[in-house]
Amino acid sequence: MFTGIITDVGEVRSIEKHGDMNIEINTGYNTAEIELGASIACSGACLTVVAKGDGWFAIEASAETLERTTICDWTVGTRVNTERAMKLGEELGGHIVSGHVDGIAKILSTKIEGDSKRFEFEVPEDLKCFIAEKGSVALEGVSLTVNEVSGNQFGVNIINHTQRFTTFGEKSAGDRVNLEIDMLARYVSRLMEKE
């Protein structure tokens, strides 16, 4: 489990494809403290550490992960929002994030509003019912509050701090981002399904 509070922005240093995709990511984390098999959210996708060295760790992305996320777009040099798994007793600063990406959202537009930046997103039709005004979403692993919703589009404001310490400072219209809907919305929807 994660909180959606990004603690490092890593950078892809190598990619190898052999069945699954093996990706090495440069990091500011102390990798001596990361166990093999640990979970790290990489731009919102919960991935398992399969190797590590001084200043880098490696993860593997399966075909399912590549199909549902933007990881298939990564190249050497791609910057990646990262968050280590939450420990019991730690502050929950964002919202409960599983690291299970539901789909890909597209940035439709951005504009400056005061010191923040307003982002408008479009989501796949089958996910629009899970996006609620003043609800939470995780985009690229970042916990954000939805400002308003219209059909399959919604807007968020991203403050300057978040732009500086995540990859959102580099995002622009046309970019694709990983989307995880709020876990509560997912379960409420399931409970309301008719049998």
Q: Where are the domains of the chain?
A: 8-84, 103-192
| H/E stretch holding 159 | none
Q: What is the pLDDT of residues 41-74, one digit of tens each?
A: 999 999 999 999 999 999 999 999 999 999 999 9
Task: Tell me which architecture the domain covering 8-84 has in CATH.
Answer: Beta Barrel (2.40)
Residue listed under structure tokens 């059909």: 151
Residue listed under structure tokens 């690291």: 99
* Sequence-ordered list of residues with C-beta below 8 angstroms from that of 18, at least 6 positions apart, any chain: none
pLDDT at residue 97 above 90?
A: no
Tokens of 29: 């984390």
- Give the class (CATH, top level) of 103-192: mainly beta
Same fold, 8-84 and 103-192: yes
Residue 150 to residue 162: CA distance in whole angstroms: 24
* Sequence-ordered list of residues with C-beta below 8 angstroms from that of 181, at least 6 positions apart, any chain: 102, 127, 130, 131, 137
Tokens of 93: 């600063």
pLDDT for position 137: 96
Residue 3 to residue 73: CA distance in whole angstroms: 25
105 neighbors 177 (Cβ within 8 angstroms): yes
This prediction's pTM: 0.92
Q: What is the pLDDT of residues 108-147, one digit of tens each?
A: 999 999 999 999 999 999 999 999 999 999 999 999 999 9
pLDDT for position 117: 97
pLDDT for position 163: 96
9 neighbors 81 (Cβ within 8 angstroms): yes
